[in-house]
Structure 1
Amino acid sequence: MRFNKLDLNLLVALDALLSTRSVSRSAEKLFLSQPATSLALGRLRDYFADELLVQVGKTYVPTPLAQELVKPVRDVLLQIQTITRIQPSFDPASSSRRVTIESSDYVISVLLSEVVRRAETLAPLMQFDLRAISPQTPEHLDSGEVELLIAPEFATVPGHPFEPLFEDGFSCVLSRDHPLADGVMSVDQYFAAAHVGVEWGGGRRLTYDARLLSISRRERRQEVIAPNFTLVPELLSGTQRVATLPTRLARQMAQRHALCVVACPVAIPRFVERLQWHKYQDRDPAILWIRSLLLEVAGGFASTEPNKPASRTTRKKPSRR
């Protein structure tokens, strides 16, 4: 089919060529041969009267026109995809939809782990592709490669709808044999202690608490910096170090490891995790269903008071259910 003399099938090829900047990788993505993909590129060059991709050494570089086409072409294809997915109703029990979600491993631990457990019963054929937030996250959401993003306010992507999902505060986590494990930590003790910090995402992003403390007059002495939250218990156990973590995660870790939770003596404001989706998927029935499931699970969270210490928890035996 043609529109304004353009074969609309070429839009799919153009999107692949602009995203991969490679004829061979585009051919793989389109399930076409390299000669057929080269022919498509030639037809696109003729239509736009522009080279679109110029070979520099062993790579292709987009022309200024090609760079301007990236977003509108991707938007058109996303709108078409949305139209083709619209159904009178959505049945999670029979759907085989694959949904991609980006979040921190903190969110995976405290929220998404329960969501996928429930989905195993409610939507046994659906697939959930859970990915870590990275510097490319905004591009992933803009391009539709990621359908849902769960992130704090500073990491959400402009131009797409969102809703608050849950909030949390901060607590300190210590090894159970730490001298302050059963006491109260002062501000001076907090800043004098060696810390385990977390800088997540491929670009080593600072966590929310680290961002706030970075502009204060006092600095934490970080002896160890972990690439994610999951590794913190292994880096704390049997040491005199301290970690500052979201309270929900801190309590969860204390139940599973030889750790305890104490109140954070520094008044760090609470934060809200937001659920975000692409603007063209605002009425996608599958996304609406998953959003409702996420809100349902988050709505069942117990409240965490600011800097309120959790009681010392003994390790629970694993359930045999």
Structure 2
Amino acid sequence: MRFNKLDLNQLVLLDALLSERSVARAAERVFLSQPAASNGLARLRDFFSDEILVHVGRAMVLTPLAESLVEPVKDVLLRIQAITTARPAFDPATSNRKIRIEASDYVIEMLLADALRTFWEAAPHMTFEISTLTEKSRENLDGGDVDLLIVPDFFNAPGHPSEELFGDTFCCLVWEGNTAIKKRISESQYLEMGHVAVQWGLNKVHTMDETVLLERGQQRRREIVAPSFTLLPRMLVGTNRIATLHTRLARFISPFYGLRVIPCPIDLPPLNETIQWHKYKQHDLAVVWVKNQIRAAAQALT
């Protein structure tokens, strides 16, 4: 089908080319052979009277016109996707939808694990793809690559609806054999001790506690940097190190490793976890159902 002389079938390939900036990767993404994708790019170049992709050294980059097409092309395809997934009713017992969710390993451990048991019983044919957060998580929601994003409220993706799920506070976690710490510690002792800290993503995104200290011009001695919160407790065992962790997770995991939970001596703002979905999926009944089940699990957690 053509619209203004453009073969609308080419929009999917164009979106892949704009996103991947590679003919080979775009071909793989849309299940075409590389020659077919190359022919499609040639037709797009002819239609737009523009190269779309050009070689700069060993890389391929978008032309200025192609850069201007990234958002509108993605937007129109997301609108079409919303139309094609619309149904008058949704039955979780018979649905075979796949739902993609991104969340921190803390949320996966404390919330999603319980929700997934509900899904197993109520939606036996649905599949769920769970990924941990990266610095591109907001872009993934914006581009329709994930259906639901669970993040602290300060990390929300702008322009998309959200609901608050649950809150938490922070505490410190130490090994029960830690000889340097009694029931409480001072701020100066906290800063002097060796810490097990968490950073995530390729750009090493800081956690809230690290961000607060940096904003105050303070620095702690990070002896170990772990990639996730759930790996952190194991690294305290047999040492005098300390870690700052979500209170729910710390209390849940401490008995398994012989750890003690103590108050955090620095004033950290409470954590508010929210769930987000794409603005075009407001009426996607499958996404709405999954979101409501996760919200119910969060209420039970509270």
Q: CA deviation at 1:113?
A: 1.2
Q: Which residue of 2 aligns with 1:113?
A: 113
Given the alignment of the two structures, is residue 93 of structure 1 paired with residue 97 of structure 2, yes or no? no
Structure 1: gaps (5+ residues): 303-321
Structure 2: gaps (5+ residues): none
- Offset from partner CA, 1:41-98 (integer Å, 9 cap, x none): 1111111111111133443211000011011101111110110101111111111111
Q: Which amino acid aligns with 2:176?
A: R
Given the alignment of the two structures, is residue 214 of structure 1 paired with residue 239 of structure 2, yes or no? no
> Contact 2:111–2:301 at 8 Å: present in 1 too?
no
Q: Which residue of 2 aligns with 1:223?
A: 223
Task: Report matched runs for 1:2-21 at 5 Å.
Answer: 2-21=2-21
> Contact 1:181–1:261 at 8 Å: present in 2 too?
no
Q: In structure 2, how many angstroms separate the alpha carbons of the residues matched to 1:13 and 1:20?
A: 10
Q: In structure 2, how many angstroms separate the alpha carbons of the residues matched to 1:181 and 1:262?
A: 9
Q: Which residue of 1 aligns with 2:166?
A: 166
- Offset from partner CA, 1:112-171 (integer Å, 9 cap, x none): 111112211111121111112112222211211111111112322111111111110001
Q: Which amino acid aligns with 1:94?
A: T
Q: Secondary structure at the match of 2:82?
A: helix
Q: Which residue of 2 aligns with 1:261?
A: 261
Q: Which residue of 2 aligns with 1:279?
A: 279
> Contact 1:174–1:260 at 8 Å: present in 2 too?
yes
Q: CA deviation at 1:30?
A: 2.0
Task: Report matched runs for 1:1-321 at 5 Å.
Answer: 1-179=1-179, 183-302=183-302
Q: Secondary structure at the match of 2:301?
A: coil
Task: Count how many residue pairs are aligned between Structure 1 and Structure 2.
Answer: 302
> Contact 2:168–2:248 at 8 Å: present in 1 too?
yes
- 166-175 or 91-100, larger mean C-alpha shift: 91-100
Q: Which amino acid aligns with 1:133?
A: L
Query: What percentage of residue pairs aligned between the two structures are identical?
Result: 49
Judging changes above 3 Å, is the alpha-carbon distance between structure 1 residues 217 and 16 closer, same or farther for their aligned structure 2 residues?
A: closer
Judging changes above 3 Å, is the alpha-carbon distance between structure 1 residues 180 and 96 closer, same or farther for their aligned structure 2 residues?
A: farther
Q: CA deviation at 1:182?
A: 5.9
Q: In structure 2, how many angstroms separate the alpha carbons of the residues matched to 1:154 and 1:52?
A: 36
Q: In structure 2, how many angstroms separate the alpha carbons of the residues matched to 1:60 and 1:265?
A: 51
Q: CA deviation at 1:274?
A: 1.3
Q: In structure 1, how many angstroms separate the alpha carbons of the residues matched to 2:75 and 2:241?
A: 48
Q: In structure 2, how many angstroms separate the alpha carbons of the residues matched to 1:191 and 1:29?
A: 48
Q: Which amino acid aligns with 2:177?
A: D
- Offset from partner CA, 1:7-62 (integer Å, 9 cap, x none): 11111111111112222222222222222222211111111111111133443211
> Contact 2:54–2:63 at 8 Å: present in 1 too?
yes
> Contact 2:180–2:240 at 8 Å: present in 1 too?
no
> Contact 1:197–1:222 at 8 Å: present in 2 too?
yes
Q: CA deviation at 1:198?
A: 0.9
The CA RMSD measured in Å over matched residues stands at: 1.6
Q: Which amino acid aligns with 1:152?
A: P
Q: In structure 1, how many angstroms separate the alpha carbons of the residues matched to 2:191 and 2:33?
A: 61
The TM-score with structure 2 as length reference comes to 0.95
Q: Which amino acid aligns with 1:129?
A: E
Q: In structure 2, how many angstroms separate the alpha carbons of the residues matched to 1:94 and 1:180?
A: 57
> Contact 1:175–1:239 at 8 Å: present in 2 too?
yes
Judging changes above 3 Å, is the alpha-carbon distance between structure 1 residues 185 and 31 closer, same or farther for their aligned structure 2 residues?
A: same
